[in-house]
Amino acid sequence: MAVTPKSHQGGCLCGSVRYVVSGDLLYSANCHCRSCQKAIGAGFVTWVAVKTENLEVTKGEITYCETSPGMHRGFCGRCGSSLEGHGDGWEDSFVTAASLDDPKIVKPVTNIYLDHQQPWVIIDETLRCHEKFPD
């Protein structure tokens, strides 16, 4: 019996952009920074780290915007769904948990940039919590 490699598919709301992550999802964090709030239009973003070489766009293309120096946010140029983010020189890429076809498999382990937390966002205190980006 052939062994099927583990992979996770995802894409944007309108279906123009599809991607596949081969291998494991590495870890997940809820980011409460103002840039994520603005970029997504929500209180925080749940990101999932993946090895950059394991992320492949299989349909369409991701449109990128350098939203702060060295930080690149990727989204669908048609429907605007946020899909990916990475910084210059980062080993890992980060996909948005909600853009995965099966977001329920994601288990965030930490909250970061809680110094930007909105008062209407309820924090899961069982997760590790950081005011800024952990060292």
Q: How many CB atoms lie within 10 A of CB 84?
A: 23
Of 108, 116, 109, the closest CA to residue 132 belongs to 116
Nearer to Zn ion, 18 or 51 (CB): 18
Nearer to Zn ion, 25 or 117 (CB): 117
User: What one-character DSSP code corresponds to residue 104?
Assistant: G
CA–CA separation, 41 vs 73, rounded Å? 14
Task: Name the minimum Å distance from CB 60 to Zn ion.
Answer: 8
Nearer to Zn ion, 25 or 114 (CB): 114
- Which residues here bind Zn ion, judged by CB under 5 A? 12, 14, 16, 31, 33, 36, 76, 78-79
- 10-25 burial string, b = 16+ CB within 10 Å, else e? bbbeeeebbbbbeeeb
Task: Name the minimum Å distance from CB 42 to Zn ion.
Answer: 11
Task: Name the minimum Å distance from CB 133 to Zn ion.
Answer: 9
